[in-house]
Amino acid sequence: MDFWSDLTYFFSFQDANINNVLLGTLILGFTCGIAGVLVVLSKKTLIVDAVSHSVLPGICIGFLFTGVKNPIYIITGGIISGGVAVYLVDWISRISRIKKDASIAITLSVLFSAGVILLNIIQHSGNSNQSGLTDFLFGKAATIIESDLYVFGAIGAIVILIIILFHQHFKIALFDIGFAKTIGLNEKLIQSLVSALIIISTAIGIQTVGIILMSALIITPASSALFWTNNFKKSILLSGGFACLSSVVGVFISYLSSDMPTGPWIIVILSSIALFSAFFSKKGILTKKIKIFKNKRKMLSDNLLKAIYKIYENEKYTNKGKTLSEISDEYTISIADLQKGIKILKSKKQIANSNGLWQLTKKGIDEAKRIVRAHNLWELYMENFMQIQPDHVHDSAESIEHILTPELEAELLKKMESKIGDIENLNKPTD
């Protein structure tokens, strides 16, 4: 079948096996994604790696006790083992001089080694049901069956319920710990709940991406979401959405080629989203550079416009026009910056050339007045409301005038009118 036929069949939901894998990875991805925001904000990202490697002995013990690969027993064993890992990390760092990052490394190594030993014992036990246990190391979403979905759904519902019930508590504790202590919020309970979410999410997620890549399934979507928004609720939903999107694409790629593993492809898609977010989100590297570039252009053109307007005022508003040389004599600026500024102002139709002379257009005059007004308004605000000495306000006003929005300008003007009766000098040029 060609690509479009495969795509149509995949999303027709006719194949029960595909439906199980797709729904299972969606549940696991969304659960890990929403829990990941709390993990990242609480700065517990390192401990995710310790828990993900430490669930292996719990999985093995769960199998040894029951002799079957029942997801309830295996996940329960993983949760217990993850809980032991979290306790050991805190215990080691508490009773010794070993720091938390070192205690994480110790716990991870010891418990993962114990898990590998137990896995080796199981493989030589002769139990025919042990086949497939090694898949937990690297994940094998294709093994998800209908009975697994009920377990995943129940645990996913528990995670969602905890986040909903303690949403406000998480928000306060993670963003303002001082206020949380003031109102008597139990910080230990909140940290314990976050640790519990890490353990639960890890225990159910390893069947998709495996122990090795589990930390990426929790941390990556959350990190990506926090590039796009500072809103707590939105970041949780966005993180879950990124994880779900990656799960769908990963499963589809695996469906297209049987040689393609689902779990690693999910992480590759998540990493691609994270890289895109790091560069192109509103807090991204490229976005910031573009914003800095635009701000520099605006400051250059605004300052030049203001300087030309000052010449225009000094000449009693005759607007005779000036050559570049005459402008540079009045306003200290390099020839390169002057030419660049003139070019920007010309593109904005704020200045025009007539017989080699540069004159302000009506649009340029209006904009220059607005900039001067914003400057003087901010100076007055700082002097009268912030009680700053007049000789200290000019430099701040020089910066603020370029970013003062009409809404903020109106609000400042309203405040000034209520305090000062005479504001006629707002359009007076600044030195």
How much of the chain is helix, strand and coil, in % rounded to 5?
Answer: 80, 0, 20
Whether residue 86 contacts residue 203, with contact meaning beta carbons closer than 8 Å, is answered with: no
Distance CA 169, CA 193 (A): 11
> Which pLDDT does position 420 carry in this prediction?
56
Residue 204 reports pLDDT greater than 60: yes
Residue 36 reports pLDDT greater than 70: yes
pTM of this structure: 0.76
> Which pLDDT does position 223 carry in this prediction?
92
More confident residue, 263 or 425: 263
> Which pLDDT does position 135 carry in this prediction?
64
More confident residue, 131 or 39: 39
Question: Shortest CA distance to 65 belongs to which of 56, 52, 54, 74?
Answer: 74
Mean pLDDT of the residues in the chain: 81
Sign of CA dihedral 413, 416, 421, 427: negative
Whether residue 302 contacts residue 402, with contact meaning beta carbons closer than 8 Å, is answered with: yes
Q: Which of 23-32, 183-192, 207-216 has the highest mean pLDDT?
A: 23-32
Residue 200 reports pLDDT greater than 60: yes
Residue 351, SS3 per DSSP? strand
Distance CA 37, CA 166 (A): 14
> Which pLDDT does position 243 carry in this prediction?
92
> Which pLDDT does position 240 carry in this prediction?
93
User: What is the end-to-end Cα distance of the chain in Å, rounded?
Assistant: 74
Distances in Å between the alpha carbon of 380 and those of 297, 384, 398, 405? Answer: 26, 6, 13, 17
Distance CA 136, CA 59 (A): 9
Exposed (0-12), middle (13-18) or buried (19+): which is 359, by Cβ within 10 Å?
A: middle
